């Protein structure tokens, strides 16, 4: 009979009316993201060798690495800067990093990346090298692990 399709459809919507809802109550309930979820970045200043493979792998030129050569001729990281405004979140930098077992640059599933000021788009990690008094080794890790924002 004419109208049966309509009635069947209305029955389905009525059934769904009473079923539990799937809305996730963000921000009271934070979503449970999988481990590989791509968000912002963590960077380990101690393990970085300034090889710049990540910078060369990036399609958009997001990463800028500043390093200096110390007395032994080895590269030492000064500053690692990422411009998240141009980042595609493709993960080529993470793939390129040779550090094992954990890559120096890695994703954390942090998706709340909105900010008010444009300079907060940049992520900076710096490594300080205090002037070594006699008898103490040159590079003292004195850097923050979390990303301080700002220029």
Partner 1 sequence: MVDFLTALFNFWQGFWGVPKTSLAEALPWMDILWAFVYLIGAFVLWAVNVIILIWLERRVAGFFSERVGPNRVGPLGLLQPINDAIKILSKESVIPQAADKFIYMAAPLLIMTISVTMYGLLPYGPGIRPISLNVGILFFLAVSSTTTIAVLMAGWGSNNKYSLLGGMRTVAQIISYEIPMALSIIGIVMLSGSLDLGAITDAQKNLWNIVLQPIAFVIFVISAQAELTRSPFDMTEAEQEFVAGYHTEYMGMRFALFFMAEYANLFAMAALGVILFLGGSNGPFLPGWIWFILKTYAFIMFLLWIRWTLLRIRVNRMMMLNWKVLIPISLVNLLLTGVGIKLWQYFTEGRV
Partner 2 sequence: MSDLKKEAFDSDALESDLFETQEFVLNLGPQHPSTHGVYRARLVLNGETIVSAENKIGYLHRGIEKIAEGLTYAQFAPYTTRFDYCSGALQPWAYALALETLGGIEVPERAEYLRVIVGELQRVASHLIMIASFALDFGAWTPWAYAFNAREGINNLLEEISGSRMLVNYIVYGGVNAEVPEGWVERAKAELDKILYRLDDFDKVLSGNEIFLGRTKGIVPVSAEEAIEWGFTGANLRASGVAFDLRKTSPYSVYDRFAFDMAVIKGEGDCFDRYWLRMMEMRESVKIVRQALEKLPAGECRAKVSKVWRPAAGEGYALVEAARGVQGYQVVSDGSTKPFRVHMRSPSFCHIGIIPAKAPGITIQDFISFMASLDFVLGEIDR
User: Is 95 among the residues that bind partner 2 (CB under 8 A)?
Assistant: yes
Q: Cα–Cα distance between 151 and 144 in angstroms, integer?
A: 15
| DSSP result, 31-81 | ----TT---SEEE-TTT-----HHHHH-SS--EEEEEEE-TTS-EEEEEEE
21 or 133, CB closer to partner 2? 21
Residues 19-38 that bind partner 1 (CB under 8 A): 19, 21-23, 25
Cβ nearer to partner 2, comparing 5 with 101: 5
Q: Which two tokens stand for residue 35?
A: 């481990």
CB of 25 to partner 1, least distance (A): 8
Residue 96 binding result from partner 2, partner 1, none, given CB thresholds of 5 to 8 Å by partner type: partner 2
Q: Is 76 exposed, middle or buried (0-12, 13-18, 19+ CB in 10 A)?
A: middle
Say if residues 100 and 126 touch (Cβ distance below 8 Å): no
Told to check if 12 binds partner 2 by CB under 8 A, we report yes
User: Which chain residues interact with partner 1 by CB under 8 A?
Assistant: 6, 9-10, 13-14, 16-17, 19, 21-23, 25
Q: What is the binding site for partner 2 (CB under 8 A)?
A: 2-6, 8-9, 12-13, 16, 22, 33-38, 53, 56-59, 88-92, 95-96, 107
């Amino acid at each position: 009979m004419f109208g049966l399709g309509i009635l069947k459809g209305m029955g389905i919507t009525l059934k769904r009316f009473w079923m539990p809802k799937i809305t996730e109550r963000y921000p009271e309930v934070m979503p449970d993201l999988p481990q590989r979820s791509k968000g912002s970045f963590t960077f380990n200043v101690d393990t970085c060798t300034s090889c710049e493979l990540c910078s060369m792998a990036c399609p958009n030129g997001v990463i800028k690495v500043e390093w200096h050569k110390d007395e032994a001729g080895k590269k030492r990281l000064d500053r690692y800067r990422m411009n998240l405004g141009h980042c595609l979140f493709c993960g080529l930098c993470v793939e390129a990093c040779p550090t094992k077992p954990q890559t120096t640059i890695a994703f954390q599933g942090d998706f709340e990346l909105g900010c008010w000021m444009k300079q907060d788009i940049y992520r900076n990690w710096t490594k300080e090298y205090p002037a070594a008094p006699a008898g103490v080794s040159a590079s003292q890790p004195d850097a923050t692990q979390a990303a301080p924002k700002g220029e």
